[in-house]
Amino acid sequence: MAIALDDERLRDVWSEVMDEYERVEATGRGERWPSGDPVRGVALITEEVGEAMKEALDVTRGYSAVGMRRLRAELVQTAATTIRMLMDLSKTEGRQQ
């Protein structure tokens, strides 16, 4: 089942992810991305996934609204980090052609 591009939930989630991506870029941390190093890039994604897993475990052990907000924040950070990796791959692929 495809998600319609005009789906309000999708727009909201995409907006959250892009806000996080831009927030990190504005701090200058995006410039410290390990460009051209896919192992370190995936390690950073894995770190974000691990943080999301910790929050998911905390939520299942004792649901709380705070836990769900933290889980959502970690998932947004994971998505933004994954986009950063994809952007770097696109740049690297362009240099290899």
pLDDT digits (tens, 9 = 90+) for 36-91: 899 999 999 999 999 999 999 989 988 666 889 999 999 999 999 999 999 999 88
CA angle 26, 49, 12 (to 5 degrees): 55
Q: What is the pTM of this model?
A: 0.84
* Residue 23 resides in a domain: no
What total number of domains does the chain contain? 1
Flag whether 7 is in a domain: no
37: domain range?
A: 33-89
C-alpha distances (whole Å) from 11 to each of 5, 14, 47, 68 are 8, 5, 26, 20
pLDDT of residue 97: 47
pLDDT above 80 for 96: no
